[in-house]
Structure 1
Amino acid sequence: MASKKEPPSGKGSGRRSSGGVPTIRVTKFGGVQIGPREPSGPVTIEEWRRMLVICARLVDEFGESALPLFERCEREIAEAESKSSAMARAKAVLEGREPRKPTDPEPA
């Protein structure tokens, strides 16, 4: 098995967020920016899913050292999906419908 490359490190290798993990942003032209995110509103679930693919490539390229980035994307996607589900249940309550619990099967 080929040895994994080490990501650049040291001074000037990119700014890090408070959690020690650099943020990743996909530009509108398909490029990747690693570093602080421009404040343009919350990251959408679609953006997190695109970043998850990029992070999977980083894990493939750099190995275990890139796993925190991949795991962060997974957590953010799960949180966004949970919020979306909760919002739908709340809306159902307001409309007088019985909300579907997360454990209930999808309607046919």
Structure 2
Amino acid sequence: MRSTITRLTLAAASAAFLLGTAAPSFAQTDASAPAAADTAASQPLTKAQKRAQTRAQHKADRKAARAKNRAELKKLEDNGYQPSQNDPNYPQNLQNAQKKANAAGGASQ
């Protein structure tokens, strides 16, 4: 008889605990969800988050700069510049390719 009462008490206590922890999650409405998101967004960033954000920005900037440089080099190569060539007329060939590229760019605009 005593073990039955102990088991029933344990079962009732477990059920009360589970219902007590589950009730607050059901009490939230859709209207309270955006408010929770606003409070999280308004909190200041931690050092690690700031560092990660800064690194991501630098990575994006470097990626954009590399893409711009590759596009410019491709444009010059298409207009006759050959950077791998050991040419004594290096500056003149580069300037000629730049003039052609600018003339082609100006004509297409």
TM-score (norm 2): 0.29
Q: Would you tell me which structure has more strand in proportion to its own residues?
A: 1
Q: Would you tell me which structure has more helix in proportion to its own residues?
A: 2
TM-score (norm 1): 0.29
Structure number with the bigger relative contact order (C-alpha 8 A, sep ≥ 6) is 1
